[in-house]
Amino acid sequence: MIKRILDFFNMTWHRIKRGVAGQPDSSVYKEKTEELAKLKKPDEQGEIDLRYVDETGFSLSSYVPYAWQEKGYEVIVKTQRSKRLNA
């Protein structure tokens, strides 16, 4: 019964997405993108072998709930940092 009512109001059951809580410092971001651009050129010419690496870890704040959401719209929860164990 409740599901029919929510379906009538154009609602769906989806996982809530996690979003970034803040923006990076613009000067640091610009500096790092310029440095990466400098490395891409020798990589394209075959002078160096550029590799992209990412670290992995475990966080205590991994819970992301499900909720009823209006179709076509996403509910996004801003995340915060917690203690993390890097592997």
Domain positions in the chain are 2-52+61-86
Q: What is the pLDDT of residue 7?
A: 79
pLDDT tens by residue, 39-57? 999 999 999 999 988 777 7
Predicted local distance difference test score (pLDDT) of residue 59? 67
On the question of pLDDT at 62 being above 60, the answer is no
Residue 69, SS3? strand
The distance from CA 72 to its chain's CA centroid, rounded to whole angstroms, is 19
Rounded distance, CA 19 to CA 76, Å? 6
